[in-house]
Structure 1
């Protein structure tokens, strides 16, 4: 007598259990991937933020700290001191390092502008000395930092009412550069940016005119900025 072989297979209950377990595993897998992606993005954002701080800090340390106390006296009708500072704008003369392709003194102009996607700090660089006849006046515009909420300068130097020196919101109609420049930057994401205080190395007569109290105040302000 022949016996028919029973068909092997899964019951409906077993299929439902398997599908449920598979669904749970897929959810756990994608959750883990999302956590890893978020952690990676946060790490990338932190690296970008650190790089932004380093780039801005290096810019001011390399260029602003070596600003030259020069006069723009190429025209007798418009003789002004090259260093001019406002609360959100700054102009000074400095030079690129020897390794850079640009040579000679350059006029740096910084200001906060709106490009439609938000505010950014723009740097304009032009040769300080007039170009020879027939040559092109080369102006270069560089974005120093994007996504800026607020940006301001203040200047430490002598004042007629305060011989020991004090912080001022602008530096106009002066004949010497300030001793210190303080830079405050706020980002759109609310990230913390410490105040930067840059000491100008070539301050001309201002070093000799500062009283002992002013010298001590300047040194204290500079130390505060380094901390």
Structure 2
């Protein structure tokens, strides 16, 4: 009689055990999917960050490698011919830029760390070229280059007229001597985000 009942189907205990195992398996699978999704999101985030850093470094390397300043660029006569003025956490410089199709010329750039917004920002204003008459973003604008930034440190290496040897400084005005190297160090609020070493020899 017991054999007949067993052959007829599962007992209640066996059904409960089977359902429990299925629920456990489903939980494990869901957890695995969620972990995979989070991992993929993290990979995509890291990839996007690396792309943005690479683009930022490429842009700055080109602009700083081709500095130029026309006479009378600044209102202050003492700084009229400076292609680059630098501080520890900001700098401004003049360089050629192709801002868009048939839009090019000399631009005055300003790079700085916005501590309140945790951003590195870039502003630009065209001082000569094809877009000055038409205006618009090609002639003047501002953009966030990097987000989640806790610090921006800029170093300047070169020879000053009052120094017998070359050396590092956290400020620079190019009339003071020959600027040989500019370095930028960026620190992010997320320690897993990295800024590769950046150094460029300015072309003047």
What band does the TM-score fall into relative to the shorter chain?
A: 0.7 to 0.9
Specify the alignment match of 1:140 in structure 2: 141
Deviation (angstroms), 1:100: 4.8
CA distance in 2, matches of 1:91, 1:177: 17
Specify the alignment match of 2:188 in structure 1: 187
**Aligned counterparts, 1:12-91, within 5 A:** 12-68=12-68, 70-73=69-72, 78-80=77-79, 81-91=82-92
Specify the alignment match of 1:150 in structure 2: 151
Specify every segment of 5 or more residues in structure 2 that has no aligned partner in the other structure, as ranges: none
Deviation (angstroms), 1:112: 1.0
RMSD after superposition = 3.1
TM score, norm. by length of structure 1: 0.73
**Number of residue pairs the alignment of both structures matches:** 195
Deviations 1:199-222 (A, max 9, x none): 1122xxxxxxxxxxxxxxxxxxxx
Deviations 1:94-150 (A, max 9, x none): 1124975531111111111145xx311111110124999986584210111111010
TM score, norm. by length of structure 2: 0.81
Give the SS at the match of 2:103: coil
CA distance in 1, matches of 2:71, 2:166: 26
Deviation (angstroms), 1:169: 0.6
Name whichever structure is richer in strand by fraction.
2
